[in-house]
Structure 1
Amino acid sequence: MRRELQPPGDREVFQLDLPLFEADFDENGHVNNVVYVRWLQDAGTAHWLARFDEATRANWSWVALRHEVDYFRPLLPGARARARTWVGTPQGPRFDRMVRIEDDQGRLCAQGVSTWCLVDAASMRPHRIPAEMLTAFQPTQ
């Protein structure tokens, strides 16, 4: 089992309440694995939309290269969930994005790491993450 992900002090932590629908629960009565992957994407997308204006977003897009999820405790019907997400250190055009899925008591239910690649929106070719983009993911004072 992987150790619990914790955000470093030099990264902004973005939070997003996650909706739970009846269809999200599988035959075992807990949130289906596919839903967690959707939440990884939803958290990253919401963070991107919240930090960058429409003109900037029109020039860039992100392509998922990999998703990995670790499960710690189930989310059951009637539960409430929240994602806390932050980015790692860029490597050329790639960013790892960490996401913690917590219940309404702040307990870790699952966590994930997704690897994303920044691409030019017109050509869909990978592009090194611009330095000015990095400041949007740092904590505000």
Structure 2
Amino acid sequence: MNSEIFESYITVPKSAIDDMNHVNNVTYLQWVQDIAKKHWEAKTDQEIRDTYVWVVLNHYIEYHHPALENDELTIQTWIDHHHGAKSERHTKIIKTSTQKVIVTAKTMWCLLHKETLRPTRINQEISNLFSSI
């Protein structure tokens, strides 16, 4: 799948800082989930969102460098591939001023029919929304 990169930006708030004076690991994971939701909402209409919902099957996250309070971060996400009801999404968090990669993450998502909460195949309509071809 040839997917476009979706970006969001954040300034690290004081509330994200832990006892070691850098962004807490759980906060990064929240940002990974938040940008996935923003991407989904930016690409879909209300009818699609009323029909489908995503759940996480697993996360793999690597912490490369710390981020500190007031750092400006660029958060990027894209779909690497999908098969059946599963979709592999990648996320990269970058310190904007230096372009240093702070965090990389890979998340496996499963598409569910919202009413039944049963897995449902990712159809061509949804696939096309996230493809840059």
TM score, norm. by length of structure 2: 0.94
Partner of residue 25 from structure 1, selected from 14, 17, 24: 17
Structure 2 stretches of 5 or more lacking a match?
Answer: none
Identity across aligned pairs (percent)?
29
Q: How does 1:89-100 map to 2 (within 5 A)?
A: 89-100=81-92
1:122 maps onto 2:115 in alignment: yes
Give the Cα separation in 1 of the matches to 2:40 and 2:94.
20
| Secondary structure of 2:65 counterpart | coil
Please name the residue that 1:15 is paired with. 7
Higher strand proportion, which one? Answer: 2
Partner of residue 64 from structure 1, selected from 56, 60, 64: 56
Deviation at 1:64, TM superposition (A): 0.8
Is this contact kept in 2: 1:93–1:127, CA < 8 A? Answer: yes
Deviation at 1:20, TM superposition (A): 2.2
Give the Cα separation in 2 of the matches to 1:85 and 1:77.
22
Deviation at 1:78, TM superposition (A): 2.1
1:101 maps onto 2:93 in alignment: yes
Deviation at 1:138, TM superposition (A): 1.5
Deviation at 1:19, TM superposition (A): 4.3
TM score, norm. by length of structure 1: 0.89
Is this contact kept in 2: 1:18–1:39, CA < 8 A? Answer: no
Give the Cα separation in 2 of the matches to 1:52 and 1:76.
33
Over the aligned positions, Cα root-mean-square deviation in angstroms equals: 1.3
Give the Cα separation in 1 of the matches to 2:53 and 2:11.
25
1:46 maps onto 2:38 in alignment: yes
Give the Cα separation in 1 of the matches to 2:6 and 2:39.
6
Is this contact kept in 1: 2:111–2:120, CA < 8 A? Answer: yes
Is this contact kept in 1: 2:91–2:104, CA < 8 A? Answer: yes
